Homo-oligomer: A and B are copies of this chain.
Amino acid sequence: MSTQRHYEREFVRTFFTSPTAVKGEEDSAKMIRSAAGLRGLQAPDVWVPDNEDATAPSMRAEGVENIVEVVSENGADFPGEIHPRVVWHRDDPTTRHQGFQQIMEIADPDNGAVEHVDGFVIPEVGDVDDWKKADEALTIVENEHGLEEGSLSMSVIVESGEAELAMGELRAEMGKPSNNLERLFMLVDGEVDYTKDMRAMTPTGELPPWPELRHNTSRGASAAGLIAVDGPYDDIRDVEGYRERMEENRAKGMTGIWSLTPTQVEVANTAPLPPKEGRWLLRFDDREVDLREEDGRQVYDGDAVELEEEGEGTYVLEVGDEELELDADGLREELLDMTAYVPSMDDIVDSMEEFEAAKEAGRGAIAMTQSATLVIDGVEVDLDKDRMWDEATYQAAQTPITLFQDVHEHRPDQHEELEERYGADVVERATAVGN
Contact surface of A with B, Cβ cutoff 8 Å: 1-3, 11, 23, 53, 56-58, 90-92, 127, 160-162, 164-165, 168, 171-172, 192-193, 195-209, 211-213, 215-216, 218-223, 234, 237-238, 240-241, 247, 250-253, 255, 272, 281, 285-287, 289, 302-304, 320-321, 333, 336-337, 340-343, 362, 364, 387-388, 390-393, 395-400, 402-403
Contact = CB atoms under 8 A, between A and B. Distances in A.
A391 B58 CA distance: 14
A219 B198 contact: yes
B337 A162 contact: no
Contact of A205 (B215, B343, B362): B343
Contacts of A333: 237
B168 A162 contact: no
16 contacts: A53-B392, A56-B364, A58-B362, A162-B171, A162-B222, A165-B168, A192-B393, A192-B396, A195-B253, A196-B392, A196-B396, A198-B252, A201-B250, A204-B342, A205-B387, A237-B336
- Copies of this protein in the assembly total 3
B91 A161 contact: no
A360 to B, nearest CB: 13
Contact of A91 (B1, B247, B388): B1
B196 A127 contact: no
Q: Which of A23, A199, A392, A397 has the most CB of B within 10 A?
A: A199
A11 B234 CA distance: 28
Contact of A396 (B195, B247, B336): B195
A321 B342 contact: no
B212 A198 contact: no
4 interchain residue pairs of minimum CB distance: A198-B253, A2-B91, A161-B222, A161-B223
Contact of A303 (B195, B197, B198, B321): B321
Contacts of A201: 250-251, 255, 272, 399-400, 403
A268 to B, nearest CB: 14
A342 B399 contact: no
A286 B287 CA distance: 10
A83 to B, nearest CB: 20
A164 B343 CA distance: 30
Contact of A223 (B160, B392, B396): B160
A233 to B, nearest CB: 13
Contact of A250 (B202, B321, B364, B399): B202
A95 to B, nearest CB: 11
Contact of A23 (B255, B362, B390): B362
B399 A241 contact: no
Contact of A3 (B91, B206, B221, B321): B91
Contacts of A341: 204
Contacts of A196: 392, 395-396, 398-399
Given A161-B219, A164-B219, A196-B392, 16 more contacts: A1-B91, A11-B199, A56-B362, A57-B364, A58-B362, A127-B172, A160-B222, A165-B168, A200-B252, A201-B255, A201-B399, A203-B342, A204-B340, A237-B333, A241-B337, A303-B321
Nearest to A127: B171
Contacts of A221: 161
A63 to B, nearest CB: 12
Given A196-B399, A251-B201, A234 B56 contact: no
Contact of A199 (B207, B240, B253): B253
A98 B294 CA distance: 54
Contact of A212 (B56, B205, B206, B215): B215
Contacts of A342: 203-204
Nearest to A337: B238
Contacts of A397: 205
Nearest to A168: B165
A107 B209 CA distance: 44
A397 B338 CA distance: 35
Contacts of A403: 201
Contacts of A205: 343, 387, 396-397
